[in-house]
Structure 1
């Protein structure tokens, strides 16, 4: 597995697990690779080709995606769409944050282009097929 913080130029990777956090890849070719980003230092990906690669997010990166999913499912789809539009337009955070935001008890999220309230979201457990038929015999 290509490791964090490594620098690669002009290399072809095939069928490998590639860790992106803090790594530098220039003019590389990735074929059938599993790209992994865990929310650490941003990678440099310049002039690379990605052919049939899978993209995986873990750790802080996965938490961010889960948060966006929860906001979307919690009735804040317009906020998620505005966030994605800002990403597409380059309007979210000119540079990465140095560390996690720490505002104990705060119920807002700062997306770099505005602060928004964050509702408490609770997911209702889904009844399984066996739960529905437990009383039946």
Structure 2
């Protein structure tokens, strides 16, 4: 009889230790799963950040190339304006057809449009003014 009391107490202690071990194992497993889920969320966020960073870099490159093209256009307009204003027609008349085209290109460049190469003759009013 005395031995069975110790046996029951030992079985109870073994059950308590097994339960505690199972609890701590489950706690550690839960923490590991949460850590893994957190790492996966961080990886997804990093991937999204990298995609956005790439898009921003591409947009920056596009903006810089457009700005450089605008600057080149402005330099070309300034260079051509010196050639146009050096003509003898500017002694008596304000502007001729080439001057009107340069002004149109300068306005387009200032407004952010691509002025491109001038096409066609200038307006008839400007040509008429050049003849006066």
- Scaled to the shorter chain, the TM-score interval is under 0.3
TM-score computed with the length of structure 2 as normaliser = 0.20
Which of 1 and 2 has higher RCO (CA within 8 Å, sep 6+)? 2
Name whichever structure is richer in strand by fraction: 1
Instruction: Name the larger-Rg structure.
Output: 2
